[in-house]
Structure 1
């Protein structure tokens, strides 16, 4: 049946190659390529319609068409009036041949149904133009030709499937189909479905299997039915012959068995007794059967003796190994007990270490908190010191400004003192003038007195002048006293200004020292803050390390716990092994070796 299926697929492949060869032959014609490149549909129809009619009548060609890329129908010689439709969604072979520009052949579903197709690309002057296709329908004509080639013993049917619903496409069977819907779907799913049916009183063997398209996907199911009448008749004759031969063979076997039973039973009974003793564990492995003679029983005795020798050697080795295993089990038990004690000690120690690491981690966390607090305090102190430094700087600037103003006031007072000196000089000149005026007035009075009555008026004037000179002298004295007082006050003011300037300079010096100290304090606090940050980072790293060590200790403790359980199991296994070794020694001792 498989060979017939292979013949079906081979016939499909041959027709696909023939379709491709015809396409290639047409595509190689220069006039065809030129007309296709120009888009001359009328010339192509005129030249190729006779060719299509001939191929259709003689070779069953159902389709002959041209396409432009990617998959547009240019000319259907089997339907010349229909062209220009896009086949991209329906004909993957056309898309592929125009995309890869390589020939494609195989089975594919098309607009007009299922067909065997062969396509080749067309190039003109080095440019890709489109593709040419020949198609042969996979229909009634195909199945009838195939069945005729195999004679009356083979029929086929082809089924297509749409939405899991089978549809009969073509059949050479009288009943059209013999298999069920489920069998067709099973074949569609990739299974080979075999069966037996009767048609017109003829026994038929059936096979259903999928037909794949050009890309390897199932596209149809072929149903093959073969007349198995000849094979059924041959099988019945063979069965009857075998039954007769079997009856004769059984009769002869009974006679031969009866004749040989007396010769065979005695040696077999002896062998059976020995085997029974061995099977019950009471056997003497040193005892041997009589193996003299040339018959099969002597050969059996020889093989039995050889077998018992092997068993004797094996039992002896088992006994020796059992003794060694018992001794090794005792040593292993002792080692397991020591290991168990060591594991218990290790578990206790790791528990203590884990507790200590937990306490250390808590201490490190506390240190980290204190370090963070110290860092915050240092940062606050640093901010206060910076603000104090700024205040001192503002004080220095204010004192410097005050010193400058005091200096300016001192200079003004000095100028005033100098101007007072100038006033004193002017007063000295005025006093001298007043004295001279007084002398002149006195002289004038004397002269007026000498003049008598004629000089009386002049004497009055001289007297007024003398009075004026005296008042001038008196005013000058008062002014001198006032200037002296001003000079004294000015001197006191100058002295006070100088003392203020000195104290201002001293204050500036002291405040500058204070500013320097605050700057140093600021730097020191910044250093403390940086060190606190470093200490905090180090403490955090130590905390992480302590936590990791704690986790490692916990894992070690868990492993120690598991090891303890494993050692307990090992000790228990050693105890059981010792019991098994003891029991094995007892069983081996029952044999005589």
Structure 2
């Protein structure tokens, strides 16, 4: 099946468009894939990684607040740090819920998050227990301090009373009993001192236990020997209680040690729980980071695939375009060369040329049309050749008749030209008179018009000068008002200057008082210096403004003087303008008389000119008719000669064609 060239070109462009669509579709598919990968990163992987890092930060801050609370001794500060710890853990658990919502479609990761949540609850439980033990330890420490102070006070009171008693008593048996009691008290105090030095609670308990009740026994012996010993009964019993009763000092030391041991154990458990929670969180962060890196790798692979696919499709499209261009050029070049050769022969006058119309494409249709044109052109040339021969014969006869007519009309034209010249000279003389009259009248009209225009301009000038004189009067009044305003501004500036001076003095006094106050007045001294500087700048500014006002007042006085001079000159101009207006009125009357006389002269000259023009017109008409007749004969002769030349030229041209 043979296709036309337009069909081939259409199919080629259709294939090219299809290739472009394939390239565009491949690019869109690649971009869609890349977009999906990037969305996975931005909407899934990256948010999980960010919240995981935030979760780790909250956990570390919670642990930091826990240790801050453990380092505090004040209950209020401990409560503040504990609250911060709870808030951090709440943020940690809230982030867990956010992660769970992001990972709802991954059950295995949801299990991991559940495990992290359990570890978080365990860590919170352990940390709460640590804080409770820390509070208990602080309470015990406060009790120990109070008991130590109380024991020291009571022991010192007993020792002092016994020393005074020994110094004043002559009861030897009672003195010995008193010394035994104080030695027993001293032994107990020595054990406390050793405990303070070495913190050996076991040794304290071992050395204290054998002396249980000994102090009370020694006191009772002393009481039997000395009735006045009853004075210190309120001191001995509490001291004995401090050493051997529940909630006594020794018991509190044991409670303190037990609480400290429990706190250390609980801290160990808390540390283990924290390590487990941190490890689980770190593992989840590693997974999130791995997931993000995997998503980035997938996006990069999708980008590379899209780039490679687009490159391949583009190269395929270029190859398809080159192939289509090659086929199209080859189908056009050969027949086009044949038509070019045939048209070259036709351009040289060969009317026997023929185009190949057997092709079934557009070139065949074109060949058929061109063959029709060549055939028609050949017939037209043959008919022109026949007509040209007949035209040559007719042109020769017309040329001879036209030459005879031209000679006769030339003689008649010479006679008419002589009569016409005389009439023209007369018409020229009368026309010059009329022209001069008209020119004079026009000049008079122009002069009159200009005079009226000058009168109007003088009137406008007079009005303008009067308006200017009024404006100058107003300007003088405004200048006087400005001078009054500048005087008022001077008074205001004087007041501002006085205020600035007073402000400067107040700032100086404030600076002196601030210097007397020492470091406490340093900030106030800075403010006083700024106020003094502001007052100084205000004073300088008022001086400058006052100087400018003085200059302005001088300028205003000069403006008033100039305005008054301008007003006097304007009044003088009004007088001159009135005089000019009267002179112009007199001149307008004279111009009107001249215009009337010139009008009469122009009318007489126009009547003479019309009479001469009628005679000259008749002669010119006759002469013109004769000239036209002569020219017509001459043109007829020339036309016949030209027609003969054209006929000969056509004969020469027709010889160039091959029929």
TM over 0.5: no
Q: Which structure carries more strand by proportion? A: 1
Which structure's relative contact order is higher, taking Cα pairs within 8 Å and 6+ residues apart? 2
For normalisation by structure 2, the TM-score amounts to: 0.26
Q: Which structure carries more helix by proportion? A: 2
